Structure 1
């Protein structure tokens, strides 16, 4: 198959969606499929014949996100040359709109993965408000219903989409991880490079360091833990706007020498970092699927986390970690961390179960499910094809999708004022 993937975030951007796209495209390509990625320009991005970089505004509203500039002819020419059998969109706006336009004009299926709870990221938009959050929910819901199939990364997100009124077929397919790579990380090597004592107890965290990740609570939970255990150290892997604030807070407590923050890591460096940890701490409640949780578990790290979408599917309290109430405060989080690191035998049992849990998210298994989904859609599309699309057909399809996209945006604006079934639906 020839697969085109449209995404607003892509390497070298650090984040779950960028890594999900990379994992999926590499796995598909390894199985003999042709894959092209359409993504915004990003600082430090290396040229690739497989990637079309679209001009974009960098660091939108002070964030590390890019906003692509409208260049329809650039995308159109690229797609006409590639002639994909299927389009996979990873966002419901910006390049997501472009994905739908191309899919409708070329009469190929469009798959959309609902990676993100968009209403929890509206603080990146000027004039953030409850009305803007409702707009984000309605926009994503209407976008889903313009696609051939919607991929939910977890069962809790699939249930939420159904409650919000998504009528397009929904399949639950997690993002895969390379279990082998994380299972074989060399923790001793990382500790040596980072000058971390062999006998130190390492509490770890990996991810994009941004406000929506609930990092303030995580920081306030780790601080008393480090005070209580002089042999403990916090390994903070990742980068983002919240990084300096976190490090400053540790410094205020006189703990700057007990925190190791190497920034973003990739490849074997990341696998080694996971392997250097004794447990993993995670406080985010904006996940659709906690990819880093699966990675940490594959490396043998039991997890302490707050209950939330994408988290409850993998963290089982008392089995592979400790799953706290969603509203648990820093004190309860700290207590769970201390319980984890103070009971080595219990921690080893939790670690063994964590490794088994991670196998559910192995790339091979998840990619097979995704390719089966692709294949079903392409086969169905070919059965109903009657003839090659003419320029007139493409013009009509273009007018139709522009009308549908406009209607979706009007619906989103309306939702800013009046509650809709989509905005009334709530996560458990």
Structure 2
């Protein structure tokens, strides 16, 4: 719901807009690029940048349509990283801009060399540096920059990080906190057994970045030790971040074919809608979350707010939100044995699980979406009176 006196236009790529119903008071404008990126003569380092230019051009054309209608925003909020905001300042030079900066690529000290556990070869390091070009161009044009976490802010060079505000967009803490207080409605594929133990694992895609190989090996070990343990695995068998397997198989196929997972106690839930996903969290005795040093998943914060007892990787983005031994148990990302031991220990102690879950729930309140919205509004309030007087009303555009 958009407040009275405001006009909001939301610009999104056609395939990325899935809302079944329009948001009250908000106009939706979609765009598509006029051709795919790529060409034999283009330097490999520049392919990502060309794709960004094409995105930026398409958004610029959508903004021209608004401009032709006489619509000029006071504020522009845009997600930075794929190029859709490259030319927003050319479309509306008089507008204030806030950019949400999700990631700054590094060859050392983050995701790439962590997975390899070895130095990154020069060719890849140079390519990663080039990938930051569109991010830097937009940072030069933004009046305000925002990053969701301190960890993400730390990826930027220090002289640029000082310009960035840390505001997480937040989660619906109130709704998630109520899940375990409601009736126990476990998914229908679980047996009706009071002695049942439930381990949950959630990832948008099955991939190395979210520790899928290690998690599945840990699950195989746990199923050998604990005959009552059932596992709910949420996500699609695709790679959202990083690379796929060199043998061409999906990670899901690898797990089913190469590991001794009990098919009767391993439940592949697929990608779920909100209600079904929250039912999984509500059913969890222990939740396993792994990630390389990269963007933190919303699913970890949601599991925290839902009151899950969490075993998670001892990696920088996790350490920002969980304290080892207080609000979760942090384990070696690369050690399925360590992960299995930590989960098993918690399954044997209901009081320990409750203590960690309560602390995680409390820690999640910092990331309440209401607080995130208040912080975003505070950023814009500095100039709100001035812009309102200039135009007589406030108008916003989001990309």
Q: Same fold (TM over 0.5)?
A: yes
What residue is the counterpart of 1:303 in the other structure?
Answer: 310
RMSD: 3.6
The 5 Å alignment of 1:235-274 reads 235-242=232-239, 245-246=251-252, 248-252=254-258, 253-274=260-281
Q: Is the 8 A contact 2:104 2:155 kept in 1?
A: no
Deviation at residue 238 of structure 1 after TM alignment: 2.0
Q: Is the 8 A contact 1:88 1:99 kept in 2?
A: no
What residue is the counterpart of 1:85 in the other structure?
Answer: 74
Name the CA shift for 1:33/1:365 in 2 (closer, same or farther; >3 Å).
farther
Q: TM-score, normalised by structure 2?
A: 0.75
Q: Is the 8 A contact 1:152 1:172 kept in 2?
A: yes
Q: Is the 8 A contact 1:184 1:271 kept in 2?
A: no
Name the CA shift for 1:167/1:156 in 2 (closer, same or farther; >3 Å).
closer
2-side partners of 1:339 and 1:367: how far apart? 39
The 5 Å alignment of 1:97-108 reads 97-102=86-91, 105-108=92-95
4+ residue runs over 6 A deviation:
57-61, 380-383
Name the CA shift for 1:342/1:138 in 2 (closer, same or farther; >3 Å).
farther
2-side partners of 1:313 and 1:289: how far apart? 10
What residue is the counterpart of 2:230 in the other structure?
Answer: 233
What residue is the counterpart of 2:319 in the other structure?
Answer: 312
Q: Is the 8 A contact 1:221 1:331 kept in 2?
A: yes
Deviation at residue 168 of structure 1 after TM alignment: 6.5
Name the CA shift for 1:176/1:167 in 2 (closer, same or farther; >3 Å).
closer
Name the CA shift for 1:328/1:73 in 2 (closer, same or farther; >3 Å).
closer
DSSP-derived class of the 2:382 partner: helix
> Residues 191-224 of structure 1: CA distance to partner in whole angstroms, max 9, x if unpaired?
2433344432211122311433232222222221
2-side partners of 1:179 and 1:40: how far apart? 29
Name the CA shift for 1:259/1:56 in 2 (closer, same or farther; >3 Å).
farther
2-side partners of 1:334 and 1:381: how far apart? 56
Structure having the higher helix fraction is: 1
Q: Is the 8 A contact 2:153 2:161 kept in 1?
A: no
What residue is the counterpart of 2:285 in the other structure?
Answer: 278
Deviation at residue 76 of structure 1 after TM alignment: 1.9
The 5 Å alignment of 1:143-182 reads 143-163=138-158, 165-166=159-160, 169-182=163-176
Deviation at residue 96 of structure 1 after TM alignment: 2.4
Q: Is the 8 A contact 1:279 1:303 kept in 2?
A: yes
2-side partners of 1:95 and 1:129: how far apart? 24
2-side partners of 1:351 and 1:306: how far apart? 16
DSSP-derived class of the 1:94 partner: coil
Tell me the matched-pair count.
347
2-side partners of 1:33 and 1:381: how far apart? 12
Q: TM-score, normalised by structure 1?
A: 0.70
What residue is the counterpart of 1:202 in the other structure?
Answer: 198
Name the CA shift for 1:159/1:60 in 2 (closer, same or farther; >3 Å).
same
What residue is the counterpart of 1:293 in the other structure?
Answer: 300
What residue is the counterpart of 2:30 in the other structure?
Answer: 53
2-side partners of 1:129 and 1:90: how far apart? 25
Deviation at residue 237 of structure 1 after TM alignment: 1.5
DSSP-derived class of the 2:311 partner: strand
What residue is the counterpart of 1:410 in the other structure?
Answer: none
DSSP-derived class of the 2:269 partner: strand
2-side partners of 1:31 and 1:355: how far apart? 34
Q: Is the 8 A contact 2:204 2:235 kept in 1?
A: yes
DSSP-derived class of the 2:287 partner: strand
Name the CA shift for 1:131/1:184 in 2 (closer, same or farther; >3 Å).
same
* Alignment gaps of 5+ in structure 2: 39-50, 116-122, 241-249, 392-399
Q: Is the 8 A contact 1:302 1:347 kept in 2?
A: yes
